A and B are shown apart, each in its own frame.
Chain A
Amino acid sequence: MSSSHGHHAYHLVDMSPWPLTGSVSAMMLTTGLVKWFHQFNMDLLLLSFLATILTMIQWWRDVTREGTYQGLHTQVVMKGLRWGMILFIVSEVLFFFSFFWAFFHSSLSPTIEIGMCWPPVGIQPFNPFQIPLLNTTILLSSGATVTWAHHAITSSNHSEAIQSLALTIFLGLYFSALQAFEYAEASFTIADSVYGSTFFVATGFHGLHVIIGTSFLAVCFYRLYKCHFSSDHHFGFEAAAWYWHFVDVVWLFLYIFIYWWGG
């Protein structure tokens, strides 16, 4: 065998600066947040965003090159990537579990400080059958279009995959825009009782995940456009689709319990 990677299927990665720049960026991110919270100065935070984004772009660009252009992602390597994504999503489920725990703790037996009722006195929640219901249909539809894109890819149909993935990304952007509009219209803030805190922390982190998922799908769109995928090797897309379904399911729980039952 002529490969310089030895007589095995595993991918022994090359030396890379990105773990180092990623660690420095993460340190700057936390320090920058503290600086912002305490000194109301965002300089370090913005710099850390730049460093983090540059690290992410270049690290994942390298992974793309190793997989697509160097052919280092054999079956057993892909199995590792799958397990990695599964464990990551499980950890994300637990992340949101903690916010739902806080929400149910506060809402199932409301304290006397908020009048022993939920929503608390003085809070005017959103009407769940207006924009939140529209957002539910948008995200459910985007779950259907991303499955459409997956079917198009597995049947090698490039044109249809491009169309359906573009539609999925559009629906993701539409959701974020409506959510931004809803936030701007809100009659309560994150500082208005435990209702505002649990509401904005849970829906805010969900919104952040929608933005991350949309970016992930956008990268897949670019890679699909550049013909990086084949009908049976497109794990980048599958990971993005898994993530998107996860974000979708979290929204269903948010809608049912926080917007509808809790409103």
Chain B
Amino acid sequence: MAALIIRSLSQTTRRGVQVTSVRFANKMMADPLEHATGLEKQELMAKAAGNDNPFDMRVYKRISGDQTNPTVVPSFYEKRLVGCICEEDATCINWMWLEKGDKKRCECGYWFQLADAKPMV
């Protein structure tokens, strides 16, 4: 560690002496998108492509929700846990399992249906 600090210190000071007059000769860091990898990169790329909610993190606003026009909930799996906030000031959430295929009604009477979610990228 000490050797490393000394080496990089001596390198940077030498570099500083050599290029003080040329500001753009400074070593620059990688572009954040190039630097990222894995899930972090997928998130950044999705956002760059205009998807500002790549992980589907927001609360769904229920549409009219009658039997012919259910609120569609995307899922990557066979079923998804859905919670209804039935009244605006409700102090509890009514949870239910929504399974692929059938439409289902929540406690307050609205209809929901599970759909295949699209992959993020």
Contacts and interface: CB of A to CB of B under 8 A. Distances in A.
Contacts of B13: 163
A65 to B, nearest CB: 11
Contact of A3 (B9, B16, B32, B42): B42
Contacts of A232: 32
A75 to B, nearest CB: 6
Contacts of A166: 5, 8-9, 12
Contacts of B55: 7-9, 74, 76
Interface in A131-167: 153, 156-163, 166
A244 B31 CA distance: 27
B94 interface: no
A157 B28 contact: yes
Interface in B65-105: 76
Interface string B26-63: 11111110011111111100000000001111000000
B29 A227 contact: yes
Interface string A1-26: 10101011100000000000000000
Interface residues of B, number: 34
Nearest to A11: B39
B121 A158 contact: no
Most-contacted residue by chain B among A1, A72, A166 (CB, 10 A)? A1
Contacts of B28: 156-158
Nearest to A232: B32
A118 to B, nearest CB: 43
A3 B29 contact: no
A8 B37 CA distance: 16
Contacts of B42: 1, 3
B43 to A, nearest CB: 5
Interface in B1-18: 1, 4-5, 8-9, 12-13, 15-16
Contact of A222 (B4, B29, B39): B4
A70 B120 CA distance: 18
12 contacts: A1-B121, A3-B39, A71-B38, A72-B38, A73-B40, A75-B43, A157-B26, A160-B26, A162-B12, A163-B12, A221-B5, A229-B29
Given A163-B12, A169-B5, 5 more contacts: A76-B55, A158-B28, A159-B27, A166-B5, A230-B30
